Structure 1
Amino acid sequence: MNDRPAPIRIDDLAEPELPAEIVEMMEQTAPMAEQIELSPEAVLGAATAQTGLHDFGSDEFRAPLEVLCAALDTESDLSPMGRVSSFSQLAAFAANRLRVEQYIKDHPEALEVPIDRPIVIAGLPRTGTTHLHNLMSADPALRSLPWWEAMEPVPPPEEAGTTEGRIERAKAGLAVLHTALPHYDRMHEMTWDHVHEEIHLLGIDFSTMLFDCMAPMPTWRSYYQSHDQTPHYRYLKRLLQVLTHQRPPRERWVLKSPQHLEQIGPLMNVFGDATVVFTHRDPVSITASFATMICYSARMSAAHPVDTHRIGQWWGQLIEDMLRSCTNDRDLVPPEQSIDVLFHEFMADDVATVERIYRLADQPFDSGVKAAMDDYMADHPRGRHGRVIYDLADFGMDPAERRRALSFYTDRFAVELEH
């Protein structure tokens, strides 16, 4: 018997129908938006006021932060709620940075923690990366990043050595998200302890693909693409050292982000002994589903009506850019450290795929590891929240045109076409 919810089509992407409590929240924040100054000085000042700290560490983050603030201010078409939430997010990143630097002052030995042989999953959303990441994170021998820790890598001083406060704040934030976006779990399940990508850690250095998700911002995107991201990947390693120092003993990390597809060079510059898992799926299907998720997520942050064509076509180009970078730079990872995983093969036998990855990575895979993964799958059956019906026409895109434009990628990796 199949008791999963029936598939749905989200038909209010452009004109969102929001719950009354969310509408009220948005109305209450409107006056606040008029007082928001989207500038580095305001962001860093808010973080200092929040934490009482002043040392932000290396100044490399300041140039991208300046470009980002200007782009958010002039290009993003934010709603009042979006303006408030964007400022709050940047201030939270800056506060996290202050606390990280203070932790390193108090525990300089943290920077001696080795980050050896991470397993890095590089693939677009909807290619099975989340399922693969969760399966591997079920292995007690591997270290991953839960949502609550991504939001606050270092606790405030009064919560030093504890996790409860950060967990409760993560739960509260997700409660708001699920009220505003009741169908979000159909596209990407979010829980306080779910395994998260490291793009929020990179956000603390103010250079990450995460900012592309906030709104189409051509100036920011141009800046990001034209600057070497190696220094920011070094900062990511610094954060992984801090996190490992706080919560040992597992030292081998499993990481995941679509960002790595267009940053293979910087990734390998910093994590040269990584095993990199490239996941592949029909990019036309990915474009439709990811554009839907981004537009659905924008209903509180973007001005109404939401410009679905602009957002969808923006992401169509970003996806093409990432896949072209992957195609061009794939061989920067040596064969003995990399593997390509096709979506249809992974779905046919997910555990066997994980075993292949473990063999390549020289990571033990025994009956205990398999049992942990089986337990995870029993508790988290795929599709348990139901699915969403996607259509490129919602974004003014032609599937045939996208198929032709992306053939360089599907031909290179022998990707099975879904339509």
Structure 2
Amino acid sequence: MSEVQLRELQEIRIDDMADPVVTPAILAARNGPANVPDRMTVEEVLASAIVQAGGLDDFGDDQSFRERMAVTLQAWDEDEGLTRGARITLLNHLVRVMVNRLHIEDLVKRHPEILEIEIDRPLFIAGLPRSGTTHLVNWLSRDERLRSLTLWESEEPVQLRDLAPGEVDPRAVRSAEFWSAFEAMLPHMAAMHGMDAASIHEDNELLYMDLNCYSWEFQSRIPRWIDYYFAHDRTPSYAYEKKVLQVLTWHRGPNRWLLKSPQHMENLAAIKTVFPDATMVITHRDPIAVLRSLTTMLGYSDRIRRDPVDPPALAQLWLDRIERLLRACVDQREAWGPDQSADILFHEYMADQERVMRRVYNLAGLELTSEVEAQLLGYLDENPRNKHGKVVYDLEGVFGLNEAAARERFAFYYERFPVRHEV
């Protein structure tokens, strides 16, 4: 087989983006369970969480999350394109994170020593979605001196009971079942952003517990919430994340954390305030390439969440949102000095991953032992790029976005960080 034929076999083209094929499973997900409401008030969400948490009713001293929840619910009501099933999924997620908050507060109340746990020099990875952050965090997590966060653990951070010898954590089982069903409906997701319950995940879920996570935006179109989010200080929410990290460390150490999220890119100042001894690594990629990839991933999964799907509106939304994120990053970048931070250009990262590894370890003051080096290099061998196939993107044809005009929007970012334009 020729190289061209092999490449074509590995290419994934999603040709029904604007008019998706709706399978019976997708139709059922769009409709949602008939006996479950798709609208709730703040008090109804909190009451449901209290029931699911076995009667726990203390959400903590800081009740500012209630206002953020009210804004979130109103923004979802204004998103007319959401399917009924999508609304139910979002509400279920909202209830779950409030259940988590109840368990966090209950555990800390019973074990106040948790708040004395030091979170030692955490290593934060920030960067645009689709800029290599997932690869980097999963790669570095091979170093067991760093505490990292699995997807299933992020979804349910409090272990409610001791496990029997050899028992698989039921939290991991629940997560694996949920994401297995999701990927069965959307088989190309593995090539874009696989959701393996055991993989290392973003700490976005920890910010959800204070209702300040930007990931709602991946599942809905909520301009009201975005405006509110940028108009308010997010530092207290990162302080709440620190409390959750202390709980997770209490369950299982070590206490030096490896964390990552694109959202960190627009919260550099807040993170520096809450975690002053941290190391910040920021990946940078051509935002046009990011848009191609991100809109395709979200547009593909929108067939579950939206009817109609409207790819051009999705692309315009994320063009605006990424510009806003990058402007915040440029404005706040000086919060971190060169002794605690590094900017990693995507094209340099892909060209020489070992050099990036050594740079990060040197910055973080971590000794790169021969044993750790072997573990890290082994990960690269096991996880080549495009392992599950390469998705073909068409930002202009499918999403109606003029790339040249869009690129002009990011001139300020190209001037600050010399990322390579990806054609």
Q: TM-score surpassing 0.5?
A: yes
Deviations 1:93-125 (A, max 9, x none): 111111111111222111111012111111001
1:48 partnered with 2:50 = yes
Query: Per the alignment, in what secondary structure is the counterpart of residue 278 of structure 1?
Result: strand
Q: What are the Cα deviations for residues 197-240 of structure 1, in whole angstroms up to 9, with x where unaligned?
A: 01111001111111111211111011001000000000010100
Answering whether residue 299 of structure 2 is matched by residue 295 of structure 1, we say yes
Match of 1:123 among 127, 140, 146: 127
1:327-380 CA distance string (max 9 Å, x none): 121111011111111111111111220111110110111111111112222332
Q: 1:116 to 1:362 in 2, by over 3 A?
A: same
2:289 to 285, 289, 301: 285
How do 1:159-308 residues align onto structure 2 when only pairs under 5 Å count? 164-248=169-253, 250-302=254-306, 304-308=307-311
What does residue 334 of structure 1 align with?
337
Paired residues of 1:122 and 1:257 also in contact (CA < 8 A) = yes
How big is the shift at 1:163?
A: 5.8
The one-letter amino acid paired with 1:371 is: A
Alignment of 1:304-319 (within 5 A): 304-319=307-322
Identity %: 41
- The residue identity in structure 1 corresponding to 2:264 is H
Distance apart, 1:19 and its partner CA? 3.2
2:111 aligned partner, one-letter code: H
Please give the root-mean-square deviation of Cα atoms over the aligned residues, in Å. 1.9
2:51 alignment partner AA: A
Quick check: 2:39–2:87 contact (8 Å CA) kept in 1? no
From 357, 373, 377, the counterpart of 1:374: 377
Contact 1:133/1:256 (<8 A) preserved: yes
1:76–1:216 contact (8 Å) kept in structure 2 = no
How far is the alpha carbon of 1:278 from its aligned partner?
1.1
Question: Aligned pairs, how many?
Answer: 415
Please state how far the C-alpha of 1:86 moved relative to its aligned partner. Answer: 0.9
Q: How far apart, in 2, do the equivalents of 1:367 and 1:255 lie?
A: 24
Work out whether 1:392 is the aligned partner of 2:395. Answer: yes
Q: Which amino acid aligns with 1:178?
A: E
- CA deviations on 1:387-411 (whole Å, 9 max, x unpaired) are 1111212222100011111111112
Instruction: Give the TM-score normalised by the residue count of structure 1.
Output: 0.95
CA drift of 1:381 comes to 2.4
- Cα deviations by residue, 1:286-336 (Å, 9 ceiling, x for unpaired): 11111111122222122x220211111101111111111111211110111
CA distance in 1, matches of 2:245, 2:361: 21
Are the equivalent residues in 1 in contact too, given 2:212–2:237 (CA < 8 A)?
Answer: yes
From 106, 111, 116, the counterpart of 1:112: 116
Q: Which amino acid aligns with 1:69?
A: L
* 1:63 and 2:73 are equivalent in the alignment: no
Q: CA deviation at 1:276?
A: 0.6
How much has 1:175 moved relative to structure 2? Answer: 1.1
3-state SS, counterpart of residue 390 of structure 2: coil
The AA in structure 1 aligned to 2:355 is: A
- Whole-angstrom CA distance in 2 between matches of 1:149 and 1:160: 18
Aligned to 2:13: 9
1:90 is aligned to 94
Q: Deviations over 1:64-90 (max 9, x none)?
A: 011101111223521011011111010
What's the secondary structure of 2:98's corresponding residue? helix
| 2:351 is the alignment partner of 1:348 | yes
* Cα distance per residue 1:113-162 (max 9 Å; x no partner): 10121111110012111111111111111111100101100134586997
Mapped to 1, the partners of 2:332 and 2:41 lie a distance apart of 35
Among 86, 97, 104, which residue is 1:100 paired with? 104
2:124 counterpart SS class = strand
Question: 2:323 maps to which residue?
Answer: 320
CA shift, 1:30, in A, is 5.5
Unaligned runs of 5+ in 2: none
- Mapped pair 1:139 → 2:146: no
Query: Would you say the 8 A contact 1:115–1:252 is kept in 2?
Result: yes
Range 363-372 or range 73-82, more displaced:
73-82
